[in-house]
A and B are shown apart, each in its own frame.
Chain A
Amino acid sequence: MAKKINNTFSNDELIKFYEKMFLIRKFEEKAGQLYGSGKIGGFCHLYIGQEAVVIGILSSIKSEDTVVTSYRDHGHILARGVDPKLVMAELTGRKDGISKGKGGSMHMFSKKNRFYGGHGIVGAQVPIGVGLGFAHKYRNEKKISRVYVGDGAMSNGQVFEAFNLAALWELPVLFIIENNKYGMGTAVNRSAAGNELFERATVFGIKGEKINGMNFFDVSQAAIRAREHIYETSKPYVIEMDTYRYRGHSMSDPATYRSKEEVSDMKSNDPLINMKKALIDDFKIDEESLSKIETDIKKQIKEVEKFSLESPLPELKELFTEVYL
């Protein structure tokens, strides 16, 4: 599998993707720790286990393309290149947070990096993402709107409305279903009738497929296929990612709805280990250079933590700013 895309990316590019995945993993582990020590409050949905999805998709994104996702958004905003310091400072609710400490874990945005949130209401980001695609088409831009949606949102009515509109108006939208098997504590087979989730889009005439979301190369190839399909047909596309989150839904989730065996079984198929192995075995990248990257990121995360804790709380006058423009 990995060899097939030998020509798509240079080794340096592949190393960069691995580095990003590793950054997300370490960032999220740190966020989990900071939550445990009371430095991060509220809801905090970690992305650990799903890194291959967002970085695989990233490998197909042009910088001017737009992205929108739900509340499990730390990995997504990091993938888009926003400084991890600003993201962590948002989680700690500080002045230097990307949303000035007013959004928190679920509400982060960066126009510069074409990241449109960060939406806390299940399913709401899907019509919004279709709207971003509408804007691309309206302006005759060769851009794609990438819309992430979880398995839990796939039974939400507005998601179907959004599929219909995207197909009807032939909008350049890639829907990415991150099927991590549980909507909060409810397994997919207890919430969704029918066969595959992506078929809920294909009934509107949207082409799509289901792939292994735990492997960067699988995701990357599907993402590039999807991109080319959208360029060629000017029609939306859907990819369902078979993936898994190692942690609970949010931080206070004891995850009693799944067995320890299931979790450890999924961890044995870890996306970071998969990719590292492929880089070493198939692309002959030496292990030492990868280890060096890992060490550097661990160091970087320490600085990120420090920054996020040293940044002051927002000034009180911020309470009343940015309600209206």
Chain B
Amino acid sequence: MKILLPALSPTMETGNLVKWLVEEGQKVNSGDIIAEIETDKATMELEAPDDGVLKQFIISEGTENIKVNSPIAILDVEGEDEENESESLNENTPKEQAKEDINQSISMNSIMNDFDESNSKWTEVEITMREALNQAIEEEMTLDKDVFLLGEEVAEYNGAYKVTQGLLDKFGNKRVLDTPISEHGFTGLAIGAAMAGLKPICEFMTFNFSMQAIDQIINSAAKSLYMSGGEINVPIVFRGPNGAAARVAAQHSQCFISWFSHIPGLLVVAPSNARDAKGLLKSSIRNPNPVIFLEHELLYKEKMKVPEEDDFIVPIGKGKMIAEGDDVTIIGFSMSVHRILNALPEIKNLNIKADIIDLRSIKPLDEELIYKSVKKTNRVVIVEDGWGNTSFGSHLSYLIQSNCFDYLDSEIIKVSGKDVPMPYAENLEALALPTKDEIISAVKKVTYKN
């Protein structure tokens, strides 16, 4: 039988074969550890799937970016039927197809780079969003000793998503703290520390778990400045992955942008790429208010050129025009920007030229940028991953109609996540989120092309 590279996390698409722990010709039993595999999240051990003799390595150790489900070795198993194996391989084919679609939707960085601001000033290196976030934290912790990091698995485990890798080694356990699984408690603790003047970065392993601490975030962090007549501010960043990752179902896949942007006293940012992620996280750490910093797990591995300098920041409250055209304004943030970019080639084929706005900050909102574009194009499509009912997108369309009423030539269309708990099945999950077809047909409708 062929030993295939298994998916060792819900979002793993490729892995690195760090080391073979057996030799060719060696007899192995089912469950024996035969190799070390490095994934996007951690270094994992690979077990032998059956009893047999490891006949041959197909992939040598040290190989990187091996696709999930590629054969990496051949295991001779007594009495094995070769034909059955090929049948089971065929079953995987539709799955592979679906994965490719996801890939396309999030790797359109070249377009974004074309519209990047002030490239000349900085020394830029291409890194992942994960590395960019790590740099932002490291730089700010180096610049300001009041900044510290706490959360589940942020220290010794190096971060559930490796965002905080290496920070414990650099800053020690006084400034990088593993917490118990105790969101309500450690969020309140972080807020108390912020009231005393420290600047905590409070990581939620995912924002789904922030619901355990929602009272502290809203009632303590967001309202204290106002309730105290300006006496007590809470300089804190709540950060972590938000939205739907891949196949983790209802309780671990939801977008909280509408929830948090509802609350006076909170700032809300949601970058779509590594460069903005670094610049915005640095701004957030320096900001004297509580900031909700929403990342996206599927974007952690996406690369972009990012300035190395520690004085590079992206200001909170500034959106970015990432494509320009006169026919329609398409607005997105975080993951939905990539859904828009994924639909862009087909939109272009329809001879429709679009302004595409990456909001980057949800609160405060770059209203000036939005209205200027809408007054030029007269047509608007909003794309958001979150549920459409009483959503941020609903509010945004209200703002646009009240500020640009005389300029609109069409209804505003909002392409939102469907109002259902996130299903587990791959096809249903894809349908629950804004699809490419929905974006294209919304664009066609507002431009009267259908």
Contacts of B198 in A (CB 8 A): 134-135, 138
A127-B185, A161-B182, A325-B289 in contact; A97/B229 too (CB < 8 A)? yes
Would you list which residues of chain B between 224 and 272 have a CB under 8 Å from chain A? 224-233, 264-265, 267
Residue of A nearest to B215 (CB): A121
Q: Do the beta carbons of B231 and A109 come within 8 Å of each other?
A: yes
A131-B188, A138-B148, A165-B180 in contact; A323/B193 too (CB < 8 A)? no
Q: Do the beta carbons of A134 and B192 come within 8 Å of each other?
A: yes
The number of residues on chain B lying at the interface, defined by a beta carbon within 8 Å of a beta carbon of chain A, is: 40
Cβ-based interface call for B293 (8 A): no
A121-B220, A135-B198, A158-B185 in contact; A127/B229 too (CB < 8 A)? no
* Residue of A108, A126, A135, A164 most packed against chain B (CB within 10 A): A135
The number of residues on chain A lying at the interface, defined by a beta carbon within 8 Å of a beta carbon of chain B, is: 48
Cβ-based interface call for B315 (8 A): no
Which of B148, B180, B224 is in CB contact (< 8 Å) with A117? Answer: B224
Which of B174, B191, B196, B229 is in CB contact (< 8 Å) with A102? Answer: B229
A131-B192, A138-B198 in contact; A109/B180 too (CB < 8 A)? no
Inter-chain CA distance A325–B196, complex, in Å, is 16
Cβ-based interface call for B304 (8 A): no
Cβ-based interface call for A322 (8 A): yes
Contacts of A165 in B (CB 8 A): 179-180, 182, 185-186, 189
Q: Do the beta carbons of A103 and B229 come within 8 Å of each other?
A: yes
Q: Do the beta carbons of B192 and A111 come within 8 Å of each other?
A: no
Cβ-based interface call for A98 (8 A): yes
Closest chain B CB from A196 CB (angstroms): 22
Contacts of B230 in A (CB 8 A): 100, 321-322, 325
Inter-chain CA distance A97–B229, complex, in Å, is 9
Inter-chain CA distance A164–B225, complex, in Å, is 28
Which of A117, A135, A168, A321 is in CB contact (< 8 Å) with B196? Answer: A135
Cβ-based interface call for B357 (8 A): no
Inter-chain CA distance A296–B184, complex, in Å, is 46
Which of A121, A127, A131, A321 is in CB contact (< 8 Å) with B219? Answer: A121
Write the B172-200 contact mask toward A (1 if CB under 8 angstroms, else 0).
00100101101011111111111111100
Inter-chain CA distance A88–B283, complex, in Å, is 39
Cβ-based interface call for A119 (8 A): yes
Q: Do the beta carbons of A324 and B188 come within 8 Å of each other?
A: no
Residue of A nearest to B148 (CB): A138
The 5 closest A-B pairs by CB, nearest first: A131-B192, A127-B188, A161-B185, A100-B229, A135-B196
Q: Jot down 17 A-B pairs with beta carbons below 8 A, ordered by A.
A: A100-B229, A100-B230, A116-B232, A118-B228, A124-B188, A126-B188, A127-B185, A127-B186, A130-B192, A131-B188, A131-B192, A132-B192, A145-B192, A161-B180, A323-B225, A324-B289, A325-B288
